[in-house]
Structure 1
Amino acid sequence: MSTDTPAHTAAAPGVVACVAYDRSGQRLGDIALAAISDTLRAPERFVWVGLYEPDDALLAQMQEEFTLHPLAVEDARNAHQRPKIELYGESLFVVARTAAREGSRVSFGETHVFLGANYILTVRHGSAPGYAPVRRVAEQNPVLLAQGPGYALYAVLDAIVDGFMPILETYQAELEDLESAIFAAQWKRSTLRRLYGMQRELTRLRLAVAPLQDVLAQLERLHPAFIPETVRPYFRDVNDHANRINDAVNAMREMLGAAMNVSVSLVTLNQNEVVKRLASWAALLAVPTLLTGWFGMNFRHMPELDQPWAYPALIVFTLMLCGGLYWWLKRARWL
């Protein structure tokens, strides 16, 4: 390692963990970042490093310690990558989108993973959950961790995929509550706004899950230099979870689309009912207006006006017309 590279330690900003393990899966302890390359040269050792939004200097040091490809390092620096898997010489570069529920909204992040024969380096951006619990669980099963960095990669991706499920369960419960609001007597604009917000977040969730399936399928079949045969069934299991989550996301998006259509249709029906009632009352008012306007004309020769029964007859006739029209409108369910 060159002497002009800053010597970050495991407690430096951006460094979450830097741990060495032996090939039996036993934790050897934390190591300084400057000692990574020396540890990698030691036989029967592998290193697990976790970073969170590292700066350029820290990424440059990781590139030198692990001999990482500059294109992969550039992607890890910029983030905003799609889920993918790429082979760069003696290392795999894996990108996964993460999601976490924060209050009433979902925040998305990214995790970039560099995988070698004797190391795994994770770089988190955004709201990606930490992987300290993942490491603790893996360390409690040294027999599985003894399978090397390939198993550590499985543990990370399994945690990412499992993190999608609570979000879906929350959406399902929220959709059930919104269904009752959709059919409520009083329509609320906030209901349609929330349906649209859920549809948008589920679309983003689908963009995180769907491409990850291809990544998991490759890890399940390819890259034998990094993924031992004994670890492949674990990736098959994670891929199955991702498939089920993707199917659930698609089904829920269809349900949300149907709920939005129903909500808009109900609003249109309510508006039609209001228009029908207004038109019915307008018709009822038009009858006396027409008759009074007719007999209110200033003509001298209107013989019916000279009859003593003309006024009460007009009142009765008007009431009969209005009553008949009201009965007809009521029967037609316009009133």
Structure 2
Amino acid sequence: MTTTCIVSGRAWRDGHPVAGELTEDDLHRLHRETDALVWVDVRDPSPADLRRLLHRVGLPDGAIEDVTAPYERPKVARYGDHVFFQAYATWMADHPAAGEYVRLRTGRVSGFVGPGLLVTIREGDAFDMAPVVRGWEENADLIVEGAAALLYGLLDVVVDSHFDTVQRLDDDLEDLEDVLFAERRTGHDFARRTYGIRKDLVRLRRVVLPMRDVVDGLMRHRSRPEGNRFTALDAWFDDLYDHVLRAAEWTESLRDMVSTIFETNLSLQDARLNTVMKKLAGWGAIIAVPTAVTGWFGQNIPFPGFGRHGGLAVSVALIVVATAALYALFRSRDWL
């Protein structure tokens, strides 16, 4: 019975690729050879297919739960000679889905790595293995290091996707800053974008931060040659761990930044409200002057210039002079 969920597979012997189309039986036969390195890619496996596949590489049924459990965070676990890992690649959609605010998308990839074997398990087409395979081909000299080299190439693509996502979010925050301090006022669209980025960063944080433990665990569980000597791959894994730390720190700093933008927007709105209140108070005082003058001269008693054109000129002059003086006074104090 053939496992129909296997999408593709490759094999190497002594660091050189094995040519030709490989069947499932070929992959399992090569896996039993001590000088062979095998990669098996599985997509959307059924429980029966997954159980059969794991049994053929010597993994217990308990490993199936790690693969199939929904909403699992990035993690690493050891099963005898094999290590289970789970990670999420990330990217940003151009626009949020209808009725949503978030644009962050994730692609889950799980797998098992052991002596001479790497099994990758994907859900749908969300995670693309093509960049991973290209990375293996571009660094073919590392294949002699075994399954750890394949694992490094996979995790490198995952961490690079984190960097790309964080960069996109950083650019979005810079756009928000330009709007925040522009002359025009922020409105509903600004608040919606800020809220969406805040949610994206919360989701991204759940994916990026645990990767420190994943990479550290895989580095500790990775088998070394006799004598525990360091290999060329150690420097690559150290560099990968450094990238994971930088992505985590960058995500944390952006999370603080979006909170600062949110609070600054509220402070600027309060400041604009105070400015509006000052202007209203200033204009109210200015309008009160002609109202007082005309009200006074509107009383039913004679006043200087009553019944003559000169009286009208005096009242108009009082209104203009008093209004101009108040306007100049308020303007000098930046109330208007």
Work out whether the TM-score is over 0.5. yes
DSSP 3-state at the match of 1:269: helix
Contact 1:117 1:225 (8 Å CA) reproduced: no
Contact 1:36 1:65 (8 Å CA) reproduced: no
Gaps of 5+ in 1: 1-5
Aligned residue number for residue 97 of structure 1 = 88
Gaps of 5+ in 2: 96-102
Aligned residue number for residue 98 of structure 2 = none
Aligned: 1:43 with 2:38: no
Contact 2:113 2:119 (8 Å CA) reproduced: yes
Contact 2:90 2:161 (8 Å CA) reproduced: yes
DSSP 3-state at the match of 2:7: strand
- 1:124-203 matched pairs, under 5 angstroms: 124-125=122-123, 128-139=126-137, 141-189=139-187, 190-203=189-202
Aligned residue number for residue 240 of structure 1 = 242
DSSP 3-state at the match of 1:163: helix
Which one of 254, 265, 268 corresponds to residue 267 of structure 2? 265
Contact 1:98 1:127 (8 Å CA) reproduced: no
Contact 1:24 1:146 (8 Å CA) reproduced: yes
Give CA-to-partner distance per residue, 1:26-48, whole Å, 9 cap, x none. Answer: 33544333554433223322320
The TM-score, its normalising length taken from structure 1, stands at 0.83
The one-letter code of the counterpart of 1:157 is L
Task: Tell me the CA shift for residue 207 of structure 1.
Answer: 2.2
The one-letter code of the counterpart of 1:330 is R
Aligned residue number for residue 59 of structure 2 = 68
Deviation larger for 270-279 or 121-130: 121-130
Aligned residue number for residue 214 of structure 1 = 213
DSSP 3-state at the match of 1:206: helix
CA distance, structure 2, for counterparts of residue 57 and residue 293 of structure 1: 94
Deviation larger for 132-141 or 64-73: 132-141
Contact 1:80 1:110 (8 Å CA) reproduced: no
Question: For this pair of structures, how many residues does the alignment match?
Answer: 320
Aligned-residue CA RMSD (Å): 2.9
CA distance, structure 1, for counterparts of residue 277 and residue 303 of structure 2: 41
The TM-score, its normalising length taken from structure 2, stands at 0.82
Change (3 A) 1:320 1:24: closer
Aligned: 1:33 with 2:19: no
Q: Percent identity?
A: 30
Change (3 A) 1:71 1:292: farther
DSSP 3-state at the match of 2:45: coil
Contact 2:108 2:126 (8 Å CA) reproduced: yes
Give CA-to-partner distance per residue, 1:33-89, whole Å, 9 cap, x none. Answer: 355443322332232011233233332222222232323212212342111111112
CA distance, structure 2, for counterparts of residue 307 and residue 42 of structure 1: 118
